[in-house]
Amino acid sequence: MALEPRFSPDGRRLAMFISNGPGSDLWVYDIDRTTKTRLTSGLAGRDAVWSPDGQFIVFQAPGGMFWTRADGAGKPQALLASKTYTRPGSFSPDGRLLAYAEPLHGGGGAIKILPVEIVAGQ
């Protein structure tokens, strides 16, 4: 079952999590070529967010937020370690900042901003 489909900035690809039993993996579907590329294996992610240039996808998984190249080259890398459910929201238009939500101890939550120049420079 495909979950949480998200269009790429150019509208030519879809990021989605495909459930395979207890977990789900991140895939990218190329609409023009009608092909799928698997980006994670057993990382059980959620909440995919495309970088503005369409080269990277940030997602939530156990342990924090991760990023990976949208073309399938390389492996997912930790972007922000967290024991809580940090949820990526969106990038600034220039791709240098990522807004995300983080739950607070005792209830509620906070919106935070993370500089992501390391992602943009990869």
Query: 40: closest CA among 11, 6, 67, 1?
Result: 67
The CATH code of the domain at 2-120 is: 2.120.10.30
Full 3-state SS string of 49-108: EECCCCCEEEEEECCEEEEEECCCCCCCEEEEECCCCCEEEEECCCCCEEEEEEECCCCC
The mean predicted confidence, pLDDT, of the chain is: 89
pLDDT band of residue 85 (cuts 50, 70, 90) is confident
The answer, yes or no, to whether residue 44 has pLDDT greater than 80, is no
pLDDT at 50: 96
d(CA 48, CA 28): 11
pLDDT at 41: 86
Give the global pTM.
0.88
The answer, yes or no, to whether residue 121 has pLDDT greater than 70, is no
Q: Residue 60 corresponds to which tokens in the numbers above?
A: 């939530």
Per-domain residue ranges of the chain = 2-120
pLDDT at 120: 45
d(CA 35, CA 32): 8
Q: Could you please report the per-residue DSSP string of 14-54? A: EEEEEEETTEEEEEEEETTTTEEEE--SS---EEEEE-TTS
pLDDT at 118: 53
